[in-house]
Structure 1
Amino acid sequence: MPILTIAAKDLRLLLRDARSAVILFVTPLVLILVLGLALGEGFGEKPDERLRVSIVNLDRGLPEQAPFPEKPWSEVVIDDLSATQDIRLEIISDRASAEKLIAKNRRAAVLVFEEDFSARMHRCSFLNQGGAVNPFGRDGVRMDKLGAALLRDPTQPVSASVIEQVTQVTLLRVVIPWMIGKAFQRVGDEKFMELVAERLSTSTVPPKVIEELDPVVLDVLDALVADEKFQKLMTDKFGRLPAQVIKGQMPGFRAVVDVALKDPEIARRVGKKVLFGKVLTPAVRKEIGPTVKTGVGDLFSDYNFEASRWTDLVKSEAREGNTANRDEYRDAAGSGPLSRGALRYQFLVPSYTVMFAFFLVLSVGWLFVAERKHGTLMRLRAAPLTRGEILLGKLLPCLVVSLLQGAFLLIAGRVIFGMTWGHRPELLLPLVASTSFAAVGLAVLVASVARTETQVAVYGTLLVLVLGGVSGSLMPRDLMPEQMKTASLVTPHAWALDAYNQLLTVPEPNITVVLTACGVLCAFGAAFTALAWWRMDLE
């Protein structure tokens, strides 16, 4: 067939052209290699304005189930951190990985919960008892007291300080209500009142207290004298007449007691004979304790001092942990001298595969110019061939070369740079084919317009670079403004890049987006080819 003969001849010319091999196969590999080594770990990641807090959780939890909390204390802290929408948590599996990230300046700070964090946290208390942990110091919470540590990168002091302050605020929100709740529950209970009585057991009653007890003593005397049963006891003890005499003398005795208790010298001597601890009898302690607790609660009615959570303490809406704000650490830097497997290669390889697919414009343009110069096109025009057959004969070898280029770069990306082909690698075949068709159509269109090698170089290079910049081939499309993203869809590159992004970076790719992009690319290729057929000059 004449079409296949033309295609075979052009394919031999394209494959023998050293410039085409360098441009289409070697140059993109070199650029991917250089940029892969030069760009940082964050290249290709979607912009995220949230503060990243990296955590290593080694906490073993409490040895037995406790009424509160229902989970390890480290999880309580993590829940509080994740409840803030402006914070993104990154969970790192082990301390060695965290120390490696700090050493390589890839993280400003990493929060580490040691194995005994829950045990230490559970012992935090304002009460000075055996085994109690006091976590507070001059600068806030002393993490070492809680079995926590903040690994810091000395080269990033500002970022590390921000992470430290965020951690401090969260720890305060967790520790303070727990300690206040434990302390307030002790206020007024039996053991607490026993402790108070014990501390006062050797203390004598001050004279001022004796004076203030005067009304109480007098009220007791009045109540006793007026009580019928007490009068009967007096009669049984002393007889009717002495009992009547004593009762008659009670007003005078009451007055003497009143004067005596108000006398500082007498009150001082009496107070030395009375111990304060004896005043706090078990019955008194039992009555006073709950009353004191209730009174304090009523006085500070805006707070619930028996709470264990910050939101309960301040009586506000609960802060629920947000699992959407947590991510498992994934090494995006790759390994080895080439940083194989780095996330950036998932963007660099398809970006330059798409961009250099359209560099076929130069190779095809030079081929057309050479054929015009040697009169090959004129001889084809004289042959019994239609314009469509000639155009198709020119398209097929270009399409084969473009398909080889796309397959070569994707395979090289996997073998050399360690990139993955995603969860649906079979869909890469129609995407490469439709991208190649669009690129070949544009290449033939430019070749039909350019008359000299200089025109090919100028038109082709300018067109390819401008389209590459506008479409997002030279930078991740996620970093482009929304208006620019929309405007870039006038280029075939943008549709191809969106489809590659779905297949190579999204865990569950949207097949509709991929197939739509393939259809649009085929439409671009058909439009370019139609314009080339209309514009092609074979003279």
Structure 2
Amino acid sequence: MPILTLAAKDLRLLLRDPRSAVILLVTPLLLILVLGLALGEGFGEKPDDRLRISVVNLDRGLPGKVPFPEKPWSEVVIDDMSATQDIRLEIIRDRGEAERLIAKNRRAAVIVFEEDFSERMHRCSFLTSADSVNPFGRDGVRLNQLGASLLNDRTQPVSASIIEQVTQVTLLRVVIPWMIGKAFARVGDEKFMELVANRLNGVKPIAPEVLQELDPVVQKLLVALTSDKDFPKIVLDEFRATKGSNFFKASEDALVIANRKGEFQRAVHKAFQNRAIMERVGKDVAFGEVLTPSVQKQVGPTVKRGVGDLFSNYNFEATRWSDLVKSDTREGVAANRIEYHDTAGSGVLNRGALRYQILVPSYTVMFAFFLVLSVGWLFVGERKHGTMVRLRAAPLTRGQILLGKLLPCLAVSLLQGAFLLAAGQLLFGMTWGSRPELLLPLVASTSFAAVGLAILVASVARTETQVAVYGTLLVLVLGGVSGSLMPRDLMPEQMKTISLVTPHAWALDAYNQLLATPAPDISAVLTACAALCAFGAVFTALAWWRMDLE
């Protein structure tokens, strides 16, 4: 077929031209290599205004089941941190990896929860005991007392200090309510009241004014006692027991006592008001003797309720900060927690770095359109040698000639795209994503758009200078507008929308879905492929209309 013959001839000319190999294959590889070595770790990561806090969690939790917490204490702290929307929590699984990141100045500080963190946290208490932990010091929470540590980079003191302060505030929110709750649970309990009684047993004598203040209580007791219906019988029985057989004498004495209770009460009252008598009465009585076990059981719960009522703005029985201050509960946000992944790569070339997931597709797309130069020079050369005139004289239609020119260019472009993606994986450790089979239609549609633009420019340019000027300017401008020269995530939203007038932008969006997104949007990829084919069709139609075979 004349179309295949023409295509084979042009393919030999393209492959024989060393400039094409340099522009289409060597140059993009060199640019990817240089930029991959020069760019920092953060290149390619989506902008995030949140504070990143890195955590190594080695905590083995509590040995048994406890009412609170239901999870290891380290997870309670992590949940509290992640509840803050302005914080992004990064979980690093290995302490050695954290130390390496600090040594290479890639992290300002890393929090480490040691294996016994939960055990130490659970023993934090305001109470005095042999196994209690006091976590507080002059500067706040003493991390070493809790089985925690902060690895920090001395070259980044400001960032490390911010992370340390966030850690301090979080630990205060977690440990303070736990310690207050444990302490308040002891207020008024049996051991607490026993301790109070023992302390008061050492307070002797009872001061006269204290006994004088007890006079109203004693009076109430005497009135209630002597007015009780069973009290006269008890008095009579006692007198009978002491008077023996003299029944009448005992009854007479009991009757006197019963009739003179008013005088007795007044006498007791006067005795209580006599300071000298009270000093003699109270010298052998201690305060603690008043707090008998029964009194302790009655007074203890009342003391606890009284303290709670006195500080009614707080719930001292709480174990969480939100419950303590009676505010909304702080729930951990899973979206604010991420697993650490090494985005810097390894080895001399930083193989596997995240930046290659951006650089390789960006320059694969951009240099696909550098085919404009090779095809333009080919057309100019054929015009110089009169090939175009002879083709016009041949029994070929304009469409056949155009198709014969287009097929070899498409083959070269497909070869270039496959080569750069393969080199990206082999040399730079780039991954092909979860749907690598979709790269084939994307490369093909991008190549079709690039070939269409190349044929269009070649049909317009008349000299090699025009090809160089038109082609280079067009490719660089389109590359800059589309986001090939910088990550599209860094572009303003308005510019992202404007850039969709270029085929590059559609191709880059599709590559981003396939190579940088764990679950790519297949419909977005197919839409981009359709848009690229539309660009290619329009460019080819314009080239057919504009092509001059003279």
Length-normalised TM-score, structure 1: 0.95
State the match for 1:325 in structure 2. Answer: 336
State the match for 2:493 in structure 1. Answer: 482
Matched, 1:278 2:279: no
The amino acid that maps onto 2:168 is Q
1:243 Cα offset (Å)? 4.0
1:172 Cα offset (Å)? 1.8
1:212 Cα offset (Å)? 1.9
State the match for 1:374 in structure 2. Answer: 385
1:342 Cα offset (Å)? 0.6
1:140 Cα offset (Å)? 2.3
The amino acid that maps onto 2:464 is E
The amino acid that maps onto 1:3 is I
1:381 Cα offset (Å)? 2.0
The amino acid that maps onto 2:361 is P
Q: Which moved more, 1:382-391 or 1:261-270?
A: 261-270
The amino acid that maps onto 1:133 is V
Q: Which moved more, 1:76-85 or 1:419-428?
A: 76-85
User: Following the alignment from structure 1 to structure 2, what is the Cα–Cα distance between the partners of residues 260 and 160?
Assistant: 73
Corresponding residue SS for 2:375: helix
Q: Which moved more, 1:390-399 or 1:248-257?
A: 248-257
Q: How many residues align?
A: 539
Of the three residues 396, 407, 428, the one matched with 1:417 is 428
State the match for 1:29 in structure 2. Answer: 29
Matches within 5 A, 1:47-58: 47-58=47-58
Q: Which moved more, 1:435-444 or 1:85-94?
A: 85-94
Matched, 1:408 2:409: no
User: Following the alignment from structure 2 to structure 1, what is the Cα–Cα distance between the partners of residues 75 and 257?
Assistant: 74
Of the three residues 257, 276, 301, the one matched with 2:312 is 301
The amino acid that maps onto 2:111 is L
State the match for 2:502 in structure 1. Answer: 491
1:420 Cα offset (Å)? 0.7
Corresponding residue SS for 1:490: coil
State the match for 1:114 in structure 2. Answer: 114
Matched, 1:440 2:451: yes
User: Following the alignment from structure 2 to structure 1, what is the Cα–Cα distance between the partners of residues 158 and 282?
Assistant: 62
What are the Cα deviations for residues 110-142 of structure 1, in whole angstroms up to 9, with x where unaligned? 121111111111111111122111212223222
Corresponding residue SS for 1:62: coil
State the match for 1:59 in structure 2. Answer: 59
The amino acid that maps onto 1:68 is F
Of the three residues 384, 388, 395, the one matched with 2:406 is 395
User: Following the alignment from structure 2 to structure 1, what is the Cα–Cα distance between the partners of residues 213 and 107?
Assistant: 66
Q: Which moved more, 1:71-80 or 1:370-379?
A: 370-379
State the match for 2:545 in structure 1. Answer: 534
1:192 Cα offset (Å)? 1.3
User: Following the alignment from structure 2 to structure 1, what is the Cα–Cα distance between the partners of residues 46 and 378?
Assistant: 41
Matched, 1:343 2:354: yes
The amino acid that maps onto 2:9 is K
Of the three residues 348, 356, 365, the one matched with 2:376 is 365
User: Following the alignment from structure 1 to structure 2, what is the Cα–Cα distance between the partners of residues 29 and 199?
Assistant: 84
Q: Tell me: CA distance 1:265–1:470, structure 2 relative to 1, closer, same or farther (3 Å).
A: farther
1:89 Cα offset (Å)? 1.6
1:247 Cα offset (Å)? 5.7
User: Following the alignment from structure 1 to structure 2, what is the Cα–Cα distance between the partners of residues 221 and 298?
Assistant: 33
User: Following the alignment from structure 1 to structure 2, what is the Cα–Cα distance between the partners of residues 299 and 178?
Assistant: 20
User: Following the alignment from structure 2 to structure 1, what is the Cα–Cα distance between the partners of residues 365 and 18?
Assistant: 21
- Tell me how large the CA RMSD over aligned residues is: 1.9
State the match for 1:224 in structure 2. Answer: 225
1:13 Cα offset (Å)? 2.0
State the match for 2:243 in structure 1. Answer: none
1:208 Cα offset (Å)? 3.3
Corresponding residue SS for 2:164: helix
Q: Tell me: CA distance 1:207–1:403, structure 2 relative to 1, closer, same or farther (3 Å).
A: same
What are the Cα deviations for residues 424-477 of structure 1, in whole angstroms up to 9, with x where unaligned? 111111111111111111111111111222211111111111100111111111
Matches within 5 A, 1:200-239: 200-204=200-204, 205-238=206-239, 239=250
User: Following the alignment from structure 1 to structure 2, what is the Cα–Cα distance between the partners of residues 182 and 207?
Assistant: 38
1:173 Cα offset (Å)? 1.9
State the match for 1:185 in structure 2. Answer: 185
Matches within 5 A, 1:133-282: 133-204=133-204, 205-238=206-239, 239-245=250-256, 254-255=265-266, 257-282=268-293
The amino acid that maps onto 1:432 is V
Identity across matched positions, percent: 78
State the match for 1:504 in structure 2. Answer: 515
The amino acid that maps onto 2:539 is F
Corresponding residue SS for 1:473: coil
What are the Cα deviations for residues 146-192 of structure 1, in whole angstroms up to 9, with x where unaligned? 11122222222222222222222222222122111111111111121
State the match for 1:70 in structure 2. Answer: 70
1:283 Cα offset (Å)? 0.8
User: Following the alignment from structure 2 to structure 1, what is the Cα–Cα distance between the partners of residues 208 and 391?
Assistant: 128
User: Following the alignment from structure 1 to structure 2, what is the Cα–Cα distance between the partners of residues 266 and 157?
Assistant: 73
State the match for 1:100 in structure 2. Answer: 100
State the match for 2:242 in structure 1. Answer: none
Q: Tell me: CA distance 1:153–1:271, structure 2 relative to 1, closer, same or farther (3 Å).
A: farther
Q: Which moved more, 1:411-420 or 1:447-456?
A: 447-456
Q: Tell me: CA distance 1:20–1:207, structure 2 relative to 1, closer, same or farther (3 Å).
A: farther
Corresponding residue SS for 2:89: strand
1:105 Cα offset (Å)? 1.4
Matches within 5 A, 1:455-474: 455-474=466-485
User: Following the alignment from structure 1 to structure 2, what is the Cα–Cα distance between the partners of residues 131 and 268?
Assistant: 45
1:50 Cα offset (Å)? 2.1
Corresponding residue SS for 1:320: coil
State the match for 2:465 in structure 1. Answer: 454
List alignment gaps of at least 5 residues for structure 1.
Answer: none
1:360 Cα offset (Å)? 0.8
State the match for 1:524 in structure 2. Answer: 535
State the match for 2:247 in structure 1. Answer: none
The amino acid that maps onto 2:177 is P
User: Following the alignment from structure 1 to structure 2, what is the Cα–Cα distance between the partners of residues 269 and 104?
Assistant: 80
Corresponding residue SS for 1:149: strand
Q: Which moved more, 1:65-74 or 1:378-387?
A: 378-387
User: Following the alignment from structure 2 to structure 1, what is the Cα–Cα distance between the partners of residues 528 and 238?
Assistant: 113
User: Following the alignment from structure 1 to structure 2, what is the Cα–Cα distance between the partners of residues 113 and 279?
Assistant: 50
User: Following the alignment from structure 1 to structure 2, what is the Cα–Cα distance between the partners of residues 393 and 232?
Assistant: 133
1:108 Cα offset (Å)? 1.7
The amino acid that maps onto 2:460 is V
1:215 Cα offset (Å)? 2.3
1:236 Cα offset (Å)? 3.6
The amino acid that maps onto 2:189 is D
The amino acid that maps onto 1:89 is L
1:250 Cα offset (Å)? 5.5
User: Following the alignment from structure 2 to structure 1, what is the Cα–Cα distance between the partners of residues 160 and 284?
Assistant: 63
User: Following the alignment from structure 1 to structure 2, what is the Cα–Cα distance between the partners of residues 436 and 173?
Assistant: 58
Corresponding residue SS for 1:61: coil
1:333 Cα offset (Å)? 0.9
Q: Tell me: CA distance 1:181–1:476, structure 2 relative to 1, closer, same or farther (3 Å).
A: same
Matched, 1:12 2:12: yes
User: Following the alignment from structure 1 to structure 2, what is the Cα–Cα distance between the partners of residues 232 and 396?
Assistant: 128
